[in-house]
Amino acid sequence: MEKELISKLHSFERKVLPVLQELKELKAIAQKTGLQEIEVMRAFQWLQNKDILKIKKDIKEIVNLDINGQSYIKKGLPERRFLNAFKTKETLKAEEIKKLSDLSTEELNASIGILKRKNAIDIKPGLIISLTSKGKDLINKETEEEKLLKKLPLNLEKFSKEEKLILEGLKRRKGLINITLEKTFTVELTELGKTLSKEKILKETFVNNLTPEMLRTGSWVGAKFRHYDVEINVPLIYPGKLHPLTQAINYIKKIWLELGFKEMTGPLVDTSFWNFDALFTPQDHPAREMQDTLFIKDPKNGKLPNQKILNQVKLQHEKGWKYKWNPETAKRLVLRTHTTPLSARTLSNLKQLPAKYFSIGRVFRNETLDWSHLAEFTQTEGIVIDENANFKHLIGYLKEFFLKMGYKKVRFSPGFFPYTEPSLEVFVFDETKNKWLELGGAGILRPEVVKSLLGKEIPVLAWGLGIERIVKDYYKINDIRELYLADLKHIRESKIWMK
């Protein structure tokens, strides 16, 4: 059994174990064996795991001079320099002391405070300072603080009660002293360890690594290979990895492709025309105001599409909303607030029916970022254009999508969007949280929208669904910002998207 144990020892352990008969402390062992301290420490831990020794950690608090402390040791403490100014004069103005003793304002004020507490100075109006008799004594006498500073560095345990009190005062002063923790490690052999450390077999050579050299020369024949502890944990390595959000997007993309949808892409900056006007959102609609939508400062405007579409959109707006539609307002550039402008553009270019399209892309809102809000996030959009499409199909597609996303229960309630009618909001039941989550909106595009873009009235089912919330829940992330302002460790260690 002992032999087997020895065959498993790493070369570090093998080097450390014999010297433990005489040495116990980490640093000394490192010196003796020629190993680095960290290597000795690892050997200690491995040996402890094998019940060969016990590690004792001893923590000492060492009081050291800090930056200012080191400089004061040479130049003298500020209060000492303050006192020295009185070697030639009886009374001095604070300003004069500052100059004579080369003190900063901060040091001057500190010195006055300290000496006042010691009753060593007397201050008259106009900051005229003289020494008391106690102060005069101090000129030629070392203060307790000075005595203490000279002793440093020193183990905190060795301080007397009085010294500890003085130390408290010194701690409060800026950069004077600091306390560091010094760890020392010693080991104690167990009975097993005592026996093993005497074993001659420790001196035998075990092969640590099989080398190409050994294979070439055949020296491996008869060699003894060190046995590994195959049960012990090994350091992590990280695979290359797609961001969790990308994994989710890829999965969602697959769902739409499986359902026969074609992908749409388009610009992130778009004209108000495509983001709002083409979607029957009146020009004075609150959603178009500054608090929701991010507008581009320069260039301010983009170009409008052909006159035919413009006329149609103008007509529908003026008829439906009863105001004068302004093409200039429609030119205004915005960061798209939803992916629906892509659907609008697609409809205006549509050549063949029926058709089904999807997109997954970034959208923007004028929000201050917090744990549940982003100014930039991801939406997935879908449209189905078919003469026979109806409300039941809309509900059908949404149920199917969310089922594939792992949500068995889906609920709908009436919603409102200027460009859809009927409109609905989609809720899914989160079983882990036992509550309904709102995940997006949908509807049938209004005839006014379809007619302007497509030239005729045809049912168009449309939806826009948020993605981040699903991803956030899947990865149990509390703060949504983490999906964009990544902690590498979290991405590296994240599970892959498996739905």
Partner 1 sequence: MPKITINKNTLMKLVGKKFTDKELEEKIPMLGVDMEYIEGNDLIVEIFPNRPDLLSDQGFARAFKSFIGKKTGLIKYKIKDSKEKVIVDSKLSNIRPYTACAIIKTIKFNDENITEIMQLQEKLHITFCRNRKKASIGIYPLDKIKFPIYYKALEPEKIKFQPLDEKKELTAIEILNKTPKGKFYKHLLEDFKLYPCFVDSNNNFMSLIPVINSELTGKVTEKTKNVFIEVSGIDLNTINQCLNIIVTTLVDMGGEIYSLQIQYKNQKIKTPNLSPSELKIDLNYINKILGLKINENDTEKYLAKMGLGYKNKKALIPGYRTDIMHQIDIAEEIAIAYGYNNFEHSIPNIATAAEEDKIEKFKSLIKQILIGLNFTEINTFHLSNKKSQCNKMNHDFDLIELENALTEDYNALRAWLIPSLIETLHRNKHNEYPQNIFTMGYSFSKDNKFETNIKEELKLAVCLASADVDYTKIRQVLNSLFLSLNLTPIYKESNCPSFIAGRIAEVLIKGKSIATLGEISPLVLTQWNLETPVAAFELNLSVLFEILH
Which residues fall within 8 angstroms of residue 477, CB to CB, at 6 or more apart?
471, 483
383 is a site residue for partner 1 (CB under 8 A): no
264 is a site residue for partner 1 (CB under 8 A): yes
- Nearer of residues 225 and 323 to partner 1, judged by Cβ: 323
Residue numbers 401-460 binding partner 1 by CB under 8 A: 411-416, 421-425, 444, 446-448, 459
C-beta of residue 83 within 8 angstroms of C-beta of residue 115: yes
Three-state SS letters, 343-376: HHHHHHCCCCCCEEEEEEEEEECCCCCECCECCE
301 is a site residue for partner 1 (CB under 8 A): yes
SS3 (DSSP) at 467: coil
- Nearer of residues 13 and 277 to partner 1, judged by Cβ: 277
- Nearer of residues 435 and 476 to partner 1, judged by Cβ: 435
**Cα(438)–Cα(426) distance, integer angstroms:** 6
Q: Which of these segments, 15-23, 206-214, 221-229, 385-393, binds partner 1 (CB under 8 A)? A: 385-393
Residue numbers 85-104 binding partner 1 by CB under 8 A: none
Given candidates 52, 53, 129, 245, which one binds partner 1 under the rule CB under 8 A? 245
CB of 294 to partner 1, least distance (A): 5
488 is a site residue for partner 1 (CB under 8 A): yes
C-beta of residue 397 within 8 angstroms of C-beta of residue 461: yes
242 is a site residue for partner 1 (CB under 8 A): yes
C-beta of residue 460 within 8 angstroms of C-beta of residue 388: no
371 is a site residue for partner 1 (CB under 8 A): no
- Nearer of residues 177 and 454 to partner 1, judged by Cβ: 454
Given candidates 19, 139, 192, 269, which one binds partner 1 under the rule CB under 8 A? 269
β-strand pairing of 262-263 with 355-364: parallel
Which residues fall within 8 angstroms of residue 323, CB to CB, at 6 or more apart?
282, 283, 284, 317
Residue numbers 312-351 binding partner 1 by CB under 8 A: 320, 322-323, 333, 335
- Nearer of residues 226 and 356 to partner 1, judged by Cβ: 356
Q: How far, CA to CA in Å, does 377 sit from each of 101, 255, 295, 338? A: 62, 20, 17, 10
CA 381 to chain centre: 30
Given candidates 158, 204, 390, 408, which one binds partner 1 under the rule CB under 8 A? 390
Given candidates 49, 211, 217, 246, which one binds partner 1 under the rule CB under 8 A? 246
Q: Which residues of 296-323 are buried (b: 16+ CB within 10 A; e: fewer)?
A: eeeeeebebbeeebbebbbebbeeebee
142 is a site residue for partner 1 (CB under 8 A): no
